[in-house]
Amino acid sequence: APTDQYSRAVDWLSRYGYLPPPDPRASKLQTKEGIEKAIRVMQRYGGVHETGVLDSETLKLMSTPRCSLPDIVGSEDMLRRRRRKR
């Protein structure tokens, strides 16, 4: 279903650093604009046509086997890892 596809894509974008990771202490709603921007960055990074929407090419790339490490390592992610390490 499209909603499932959408939430899976948001999860994927968060996991690989394109969206800020969810903060368990606070409810954070991603904006439509933020998700579109994240999809664009992901598309540019992955070398596919930059549309900002979950087209078939993008979904195919998202389901391609890959390394578990994030593509965009932001300060939040680094911090989270340091905290977990401690």
Partner 1 sequence: YALSGLKWHKTDLTWSVHSYPSPSLSPGLPNSLVDNILTHALKAWSDAAPLNFRWLPSDSRVAAAGGDIRVSFTSMFHDDGYPFDGQGGTLAHAFFPGRNDMAGDTHFDDDEIWSYGGSSSTTDLFTVAVHEFGHALGLSHSSSDPSIMRPYYQGPVGDIQNFMLALDDKQAIQQLYGVKDEGPPGGVDPEIPRLPSPPPPRPTQPSDPSFSERCQGGFDAVANIRGEVFFFKGAHFWRTKQDGSLVSLNPAQIKNFWIGLPPGTNKVDAVYERKSDSKIIFFIGSQYWVFKDTVAMAGYPRPLSEWGMRTKSGALVESVDAAFIWAHNGKTYLFSNGEFWRFDESHGSGEVTWLQAPDYPRSNSLWGGVPSHMDDVITWGEGDSYFFKDNHYWVLKRGGLNQDVVTPKSIAVDWLRCPAPPTTPAAPANPRHPKECSCDIKG
Q: How far is the CB of 64 from partner 1 (least distance, A)?
A: 5
Q: By CB neighbour count within 10 A (0-12 exposed, 13-18 middle, 19+ buried), where does 38 fall?
A: buried
Judged by CB under 8 A, the residue of 46, 50, 52, 74 near partner 1 is 46
Does 24 contact partner 1 by CB under 8 A? no
CA–CA separation, 32 and 37 (whole Å): 9
Judged by CB under 8 A, the residue of 47, 49, 56, 75 near partner 1 is 47
CA–CA separation, 79 and 82 (whole Å): 5
Q: Which is nearer to partner 1, 25 or 32 (CB)?
A: 32
CA–CA separation, 61 and 66 (whole Å): 10
Does 18 contact partner 1 by CB under 8 A? no
Residues that bind partner 1 (CB under 8 A): 16, 31-33, 44-47, 61, 63-71, 73, 81, 84-85
